[in-house]
Amino acid sequence: MITRPQAKALDAADPLAGFRDLFVISEPDLLYLDGNSLGRLPKATVARVREAVDDDWGRGLVRSWQAGWMQRPREVGDRLAPLIGAGPGEVLLADQTSLNLFKLATAALDAAAPRSTIVSDAGNFPSDLYVLAGVAERAGGSLVTVDGPESFSAALDPSVGLLSASHVNFKSGKLADMAGLTGRAHDAGAMVLWDLSHSVGAVPIDVNGAGVDLAIGCTYKYLNGGPGAPAFLYVARHLQDQLTQPIHGWWGQQDMFGFDLGYQPAAGIDRFAVGTMPMLSLIAAESGIEISAEAGIGVIREKGMALTALMVDLFDELPGDLGFSLASPRDAEDRGSHISLSHPDGYRITQALIERGVIPDFRAPDIVRLGAAPLYTRYVDVWDAFDRLRQIMESGEHLAFTEQRSGVT
C-alpha cells in the first residue's frame, strides 16, 4: 500500500521540485492533472508579454518588426529544436498544428507523385485524420487507416507516398517506435510525417537520429505556451529546398517586401511560413520552451515515467469492483506522460473529480485521462487525486452528474 508520506518523500527528493515555483499556481489546493492539454502559465510569460505590449507595441510600434519581431519565429524554433533532436534552421514556429499538417502533408504528396495514398493510424488524433483525408483526396488518392502502428508495414504498398502518425497516442498514451516506423516507411519508398503534440516537452525525441522527414507539434501542452499558442513544424534540412509549400504567403516569399507579383519561395525553413505571425502569442510561447530546455528532457522524462508509474500502482490499489480498466501501456517505457482509465461512467466521473478540485480531462467515449506534467506535477498531487477518486466512487457521488457531454473537459 502506497502512503501519502511516501509520495511526499518522493517530492522532497525530486530534482525538478524547484521548477514548480516558475509557474503561476493561483489555487494551491487544485490538483491539475490536465498537463497534456492546456499547460500552466509560466511566471516569466506574464512579464515577457507585458513588455511586448508596453514597449514593443506601445512604444516601438511598427519599428519593432525591424528590431526583432521578424526573426522571432526562426529564433524560437531554434530554441525548441534541441527538444526534438533537430538542428538550427530546421524548426519554425508558425500557424496552428492542423495548418502545418496540411502544408507538410501536401508538400510531401506533391513530391511523391504519382503516389497519392496516405497511411495513418485509426487511433490518430481525429483532426489529423480530417486533414490527411482532405490532402489525399486533393492529390487524387485516399487515406488508408490501420488498426495501430504495428499494422503499418502491411499497408505500405507502392501507392503510398506518405506515412503520418502521432508519436504518443492521445488516448492511450502509447509511445510509437519513431525510428523503426520511419525506417520501414523509407524502405517502402514513402516519406514520414510525425505529430509530436503529445510528446514534445515530455519525451526525448530525436528526429535527426531517426531520419524523420517532417514533423509538426504544438506548444500548448507540455511546453506551456498558452491558449491558442502557435504550433511548430520541422523539415529535414535536405528537403527544405526540394519541397513546394502549397500556401504561397508573403512571409514565405523570397523578398517579402519587394512586393513582386510573382511568388518565389524563400530559401530553407522560411518558405514554410505563410502570413503575418501572431507575435504576442509567439512571444508568450518562448518562456515555456526555455524552461523545458533548462530542466533537460532526460530529467523530465525520468520524472514523467515515475509519476505515471505511481498512477498505475495507485490504479492497481483501487477495488476491482469499481469498474475501471487501464487503457494505457503498463510499461513506462512504452507510454508518454499520461495515463488513461476506462470506465462506462467516465464522463460523470470526470465531472465529479472537477467538483472535488481535481482537473483531469475526458476523451470519448469512456476515458478519464490523467496528465503528468513533470515540471510542476507533484507525486503528492497524484496520490491525492486517486484518494479523491476512490472516495467519489465509493460514495457514488458521480452518479449525480449528467451523462450528457457539454463544453470543455
304 and 265 part of one domain? no
DSSP 34: B
Same domain, 121 and 208: yes
CATH of the domain at 349: 3.90.1150.10
**38 domain residue, yes or no:** no
- Judged by DSSP in three states, 254 sits in coil
Query: Cell numbers at residue 194, please?
Result: 510525425
**Residues 148-187 pLDDT 10s:** 888 999 999 999 999 999 999 999 999 999 999 999 999 9
pLDDT in tens, 274-324: 999 999 999 999 999 999 999 999 999 999 999 999 999 999 999 999 999
What are the grid coordinates assigned to 109, written together?
A: 504528396
Helix (H/G/I), strand (E/B), else coil: 145: strand
- How high does pLDDT run on average in the chain? 95
Q: Please indicate, yes or no, if residue 316 is contained in any of the structural domains.
A: yes
102 and 246 fall within a common domain: yes
The reported pLDDT for the residue numbered 256 is: 83
Where do runs of H (alpha helix) occur along 145-191? 152-155, 178-187
Beta-bridge partner residues of 155: none
Residue from 19, 102, 152, 220 carrying the catalytic annotation: 220
For the cut 90, the answer to whether the pLDDT of residue 123 exceeds it is yes
Among 115, 301, 369, 378, the active-site one is 369
Instruction: With respect to residue 312, please indicate whether it lies within any of the assigned structural domains.
Output: yes
Count of domains for the chain: 2
Query: 97 with 203, same domain?
Result: yes
For residue 229, give the C-alpha cell. 499558442
Catalytic residue among 221, 335, 348, 378: 221
How many Å apart are CA 107 and CA 215, to the nearest integer? 12
Is residue 39 one of the residues assigned to a domain? no
Active-site residue (options: 19, 23, 32, 125): 125
Is 37 a member of any domain? no
From CA 266, how far away is CA 135, in angstroms rounded? Answer: 23
Do residues 392 and 398 lie in contact, with contact meaning Cβ atoms separated by under 8 Å? yes
Q: Which of 252, 279, 294 is the last residue of a domain?
A: 294
For 89, the 3-state DSSP assignment is coil
Q: Note whether 180 and 197 are within 8 A (CB).
A: no
Query: Both 246 and 230 in a single domain?
Result: yes
* CA–centroid distance for 381 within its chain: 22
Using an 8 Å Cβ cutoff, are 328 and 335 in contact? yes
59 is catalytic: no
With a cut of 70, say whether residue 407 has pLDDT above it.
Answer: no
Is a pLDDT exceeding 90 seen at residue 257?
no
The active-site residue, picked from 34, 195, 213, 381, is 195
109 and 22 housed in the same domain:
no
CB contact at 8 A, 345 and 362: no
171 belongs to the catalytic site: no
Which residues are CB-contacts of 262 (< 8 A; sequence separation ≥ 6)? none
More confident residue, 409 or 256: 256
Q: Are residues 307 and 277 in the same domain?
A: no
408 in a structural domain: no
Instruction: Tell me if residue 195 is catalytic.
Output: yes
For helices 72-80 and 279-295, give the axis angle rounded to 10 degrees: 20
499520461: which residue's cell? 338
Domain boundary among 262, 294, 326: 294
Q: Can you tell me the distance from the alpha carbon of 73 to that of 93, in angstroms, rounded to the nearest whole number?
A: 5
Report CA torsion sign: 335, 341, 346, 350. Answer: negative
Q: Are residues 219 and 82 part of one domain? A: yes
Task: Give the residue ranges of DSSP H helices in 175-268.
Answer: 178-187
In a domain, 222, yes or no: yes
Which residue matches cell numbers 509560466? 42
Cβ atoms within 10 Å, residue 245? 22
Is 194 inside a domain boundary? yes
394 shares a domain with 317: yes
9 and 76, same structural domain? no
Beta bridge mates, 334:
none
pLDDT at position 406 = 64
Of 317, 361, 322, which is closest to residue 344 (Cα–Cα)? 322
56 is catalytic: no
376 is catalytic: no
What predicted TM-score, i.e. pTM, was given to this entire model? 0.95
- What CATH number corresponds to the domain at position 211? 3.40.640.10
Domain boundary among 294, 320, 341: 294
pLDDT in tens, 258-285: 888 999 999 999 999 999 999 999 999 9
**Are 273 and 340 found together in one domain?**
no
Residue with cell 510499461: 331
Query: Do 289 and 232 meet the contact criterion of CB atoms below 8 Å apart?
Result: no
State which residues form the domain around 142: 47-294
Is residue 232 domain-shared with residue 205, that is, in the same domain?
yes
- Element containing residue 193 per DSSP (H, E): strand 191-195
CB 189 within 8 A of CB 147: no
